[in-house]
Amino acid sequence: MPIDPEFSKKLDKNDQHNGHDVWGEVKPPEKLGVHGTNVAVDHDVCNGDGTCISVCPVNVYEWVETPGHPASNKKSDPVRESDCINCMACEIQCPTQAIKITPK
Ligand code: SF4
């Protein structure tokens, strides 16, 4: 299931991680929530493919280790979400549709 584009209206901000907000239920290692707001990655949808890390022209993402998560043991984390230039490459190319870009 892809990221819910309405996540920020439906979910609560429950945590902070690497400088960004985390939305929804957080219960590691199985439930990790949506990381980031303008650059949002649903860590429960991300399969650790890494396409976003490869295509981002401004290096917004970094790997984070998530051992024990059912979908993958590493995730792409939007650690520099304020650097995003809204090119949409990551959202378009993500194979599991885990990313939602909301231009500021
Ligand atoms: S929209 Fe473009 S600049 Fe922003 S995080 Fe995705 S790939 Fe990087």
β-bridge partners, 89: none
All structural domains of the chain with their residue ranges:
7-101
Q: Which ligand 1 atom sits closest to the C-alpha of 86?
A: 1
Residues in contact with ligand 1 (CB, 6 Å cut-off): 39, 55-58, 60, 84-90, 101
Return the CATH number of the domain spanning residue range 7-101: 3.30.70.20
pTM above 0.85, yes or no: yes
Query: What's the CA dihedral at 22, 25, 27, 30 to 10 degrees?
Result: -100
**Residues 18-62: tens digit of each pLDDT:** 999 999 999 999 999 999 999 999 999 999 999 999 999 999 999
H helical segments located in 1-104: 7-10, 51-55, 89-93
> How far does Cα 43 stand from its chain's mean position?
6
pLDDT band at 104; cut points 50, 70, 90: confident
